Amino acid sequence: MTVHTIDKARIISDVQFGDNLNHAVTQGRRSDFALMLALMSGDANESTPLSPLDEKTTNDEVLRRQFQLAPPQPLAASNEEDYVRAGAQADAFH
């Protein structure tokens, strides 16, 4: 039989407890829940990734090429021709 002491536990996050933390809450085992919380480390350096992630720079042009999208369409009328076309479409609709 192996004796498991607190100094050997090295519990950092609740993920390492699995379902035991949830079961302690739902079954009302307050002492087990308190012990598990006490075993968790409060040091943010142990659970926070300190190395920078390699983030690729993406912009609108790169994403349009990647997903083979058409050029962006204007959202507002920019010249007189657009107003004439809108009037013709309204007449055709009616």
pTM of this structure: 0.34
CA distance to 2, 9, 10, 20, 70, per residue, from 6 (Å): 13, 5, 8, 17, 61
Annotated domain spans of the chain: 1-45
Mean pLDDT by 10 residues, the chain (94 residues): 52 68 84 80 64 77 91 85 90 91
